[in-house]
Every structure is written in structure tokens, then in C-alpha cells.
Structure 1
Amino acid sequence: MERPRLGFWFEFASTYSYLTAMRIETVAADRGVDLDWRPFLLGPIFARQGWSTSPFNLYPAKGRYMWRDMERLCETLGLPLVMPDPFPQNGLMAARIAHAGRKDPWIGAFVRAVYMAEFGEGRDISDPALLAGLLTDLGVDAPVLLAAAEKPEVKIGLRAAVSEAETLGIFGAPSFVTADGELFWGNDRLEDALDWALRLTD
């Protein structure tokens, strides 16, 4: 019988995606669910809503709540939290690299490393030198991946991923999509999404 799969849609600028990225690979493996790593960009989706930045910036009360919520959750999970400046970060290059390597064995470790640099250390993830260093630390050929991120097919592929996300009804990150198209949104819905994915193979 084919193993259940779950699409993990994440945006590198997303705070709650940080929480999910740091645990999803272990949790999914424990449940016997395979992951499809789906980096995408929320900026174009937000722009079509008339938003020029994160809603956490547009609505200050919501932003204050989110950062306090992140403090509580990171403390519970044992994760460091540093607010990056600026927020949201420009994760375009990181997303292109992740898209290019989304099926490679190092993808999970790379995604976690980017999120840790961003929200755990407050570093600028738009810096190619930072991304190159993260790739090198993972034993990946950084110049090859940085070059791949600039290839037209990768740029087009990432744009297509944004369009696919919209078609699936995705409006925020993290989001999870099961094989039958069921959509779950938010770090706190990860376990529900895994349960649904497992139901499909019962």
C-alpha cells in the first residue's frame, strides 16, 4: 500500500512556519507520512488582497499578539526567538533554492537552517553569503545551488507554485494539503492534517 503523503506549504518570512518546520519532519516520520516540501511566496497572494506587507504589520494589535504568542510557543518548544529586522524578511532566494532542492535529501535540514538563522538568530536570509554558508554546512555544493536558483525554470517553477497555492485555496502559511485536496492552515493544525492523510490509506 502506498504511504500517505502531506504537502507542507511554507513561506520563509512566516513566523508560524518556523515552528512547524522545526518539528514536521520528525512528527511526520513518526506517523509514517511522507512529506512534499512546497516553498512558496505569500507576497503575491497578499498583494492581490491589497496588502503591501504582512497583516501582522498592517494590524498592530494582531502583530503584538503574534510576537507574544511566538514567545510562549518557542519557550514551550525549546526554540530561540529573535525578531528579524526588517520583518518580514525577503525570502525569495531561499525559496528558489528550496524549490530547486525540494526533492533532495537535504531539503528538511536546509529549511530548518534558514528558519533558525532568521528567527533563532535574527540574521538576514536575503544574504547569498549566509545561504551559501548554510548549504556548505550541510555538505551541499553551494555555488551549484545558488546558480540553480537563478535559472529561468526555477524562477518559473516558484511562480507556478504560488499560482498552485492560490488554486488550492491557500491564503497563509504554514498550510498543509492532503492527497484529496483537504486544506489545513496553521502550525496548530499539523496533527489534524497528518490524521487526515492517514485516514486516506486506512
Structure 2
Amino acid sequence: MVKPLEFWFEFASTYSYLSAARIEDACAKAGVPLVWRSFLLGPVFGAQGMTDSPFNMFPVKGAYMWTDMERCCSDLELPFGKPSSFPRGSLLAARIVAAHADAPWVGPFVRAVYHANFAEDRDIADDTVIAALLFEIEQDAEAIVAAATAPEGKALLRTATEEALARGLFGAPSFVVDGALFWGNDRLEQALAHARAS
């Protein structure tokens, strides 16, 4: 039996943009069920003693990452522009995915948020931007935001982040298949192969 692939991502994560752009099609082609899992990297990094993105803490690594992102996006024919603020907060967007992970529109929403951040330099920390993105994919922004920001909705993201820590996730994107962890955009195909072999 093919095992599902859990896609753990953070909207501020550059390399998660690459995975988010292709994972839905890749899973469908491989016949692997996809589970969307948003979480927050801040507490994960904090548990490792970091107070900022490692790409900001280590400028040489950060400079390489931006160059690498340009190359990778070019290879995937994805639009890319270095955001004027990095990393951007993404609390509402992450809560929306956590509260609506099974909704048929979650894939288009995830891709829209990443595109807004890493192609259009829109401030995804702004709730009005997130509402506009929901409107752009023809969804009821008011109802979706209300569910995500209700106490139950907020608890789902908090629980997901705690689960990520408990399961040993240390960055994004991460893929989990039957308990096995695969980290990084370049491990997506390996995770899919593992899911098919399970």
C-alpha cells in the first residue's frame, strides 16, 4: 500500500517555495497521497538556539542561497524576486492551512502565498494581503479567516508546530513518509520513491 507523503513547510522558507510549486503534480503523477502540514520555523529554530533565519545569521550562506534560488527558479520556470523583507511573518496563512488542510483549494492557496512573497514581494504578514489572495482563488475569505483565527483554529497550528519539534524536524521543506524524514527540496523525489516502495 502506498504511504501518504506529509509536506511540512513554512511560508517564509525559500526552498519550500520550490517544493510547493511542484509537489501536488508530483504526488498525483506518482500516485502518492499528499498531506499539507504548515508549521512555524521560529520555535523550531529557537529550540536549536537560533534567533533568526540561518541565512541571516550566516551572511555568506545567505548570499549563496539567493543566488541558488535564482538558478532553481529558472530551472523550474518559476518567477522569482528577492523579497524586500526576509523572513516575513506568515502566521495567518499558516493558520489557514492548518485549519483547512483537507480543502480542495489548499494547494492553490499555498502556491498563491508563496508567489506573492517570492515573486511579487507582497507582504504576506499583512492580513489584508492574505484575504486578497483567498479572493483571487475565488474563496470566501471572511469565513476561512474566521475559522483559522478562532481558538480551535489557532490551536491546530500550535499543535502542528509542537508535533514538528517532537518528530525531530529542524527545517523546511521537510517530507515525512511512514515516520521517515526527508529534508530539503532536493529530497522530494526520494520521499516519493520511499512512499511508493512502502
TM range (shorter): over 0.9
Following superposition of structure 1 onto structure 2, how do residues 1-202 of structure 1 map, counting pairs within 5 Å? 2-179=1-178, 181-200=179-198
Q: Output one character per residue of 1:8-41: Cα deviation in whole Å (capped at 9) or x when no partner.
A: 0000000000000000000110000010000000
1:85 Cα shift? Answer: 2.3
Cα distance in 2 for residues equivalent to 1:101 and 1:83: 29
What CA distance in whole angstroms lies between the structure 1 residues aligned with 2:83 and 2:97? 20
| Counterpart residue identity of residue 111, structure 2 | R
Q: Deviations over 1:128-181 (max 9, x none)?
A: 1111111112221100111112111111111111111112111000000002x0
Distance in 2, matches of 1:190 and 1:50, equals 27
Number of positions where the alignment pairs a residue of Structure 1 with one of Structure 2: 198
TM-score (norm 1): 0.95
Give the drift of 1:4: 2.8
Task: Give the AA of the match of 1:49.
Answer: Q
Structure 1 distance, partners of 2:52, 2:148, is 24
The answer (yes or no) to whether the contact 2:2–2:197 under 8 Å persists in 1 is no
TM-score normalised by length of structure 2: 0.97
Rounded to whole Å, the distance in 2 between the matches of 1:62 and 1:174 is 17
Paired residue type of 1:99: A
SS at match of 1:23: helix
User: Structure 1: which 4+ aligned runs deviate by more than 4 Å?
Assistant: none
Give the deviation of 1:107 after TM superposition.
0.5
Q: CA deviation at 1:3?
A: 4.3
The letter of the residue matching 1:192 is: Q
The one-letter amino acid of 2:55's match is F
Whole-Å separation in 2 of the counterparts to 1:57 and 1:37: 27
Instruction: Give the Cα–Cα distance (whole angstroms) in 1 for the partners of residues 84 and 169 of structure 2.
Output: 26
Structure 1: runs of 5 or more not aligned: none
Secondary structure of the residue aligned to 1:71 is helix
Cα distance in 1 for partners of 2:108, 2:114 equals 10
- Output the aligned Cα RMSD: 0.9
Percent identity between the aligned chains? 56
Residues in 1 aligned to 2:194 and 2:167: alpha-carbon distance in whole angstroms: 16
- The farther-off stretch of 121-130 and 53-62 is 121-130
1:65 is displaced (CA, Å) by 0.6
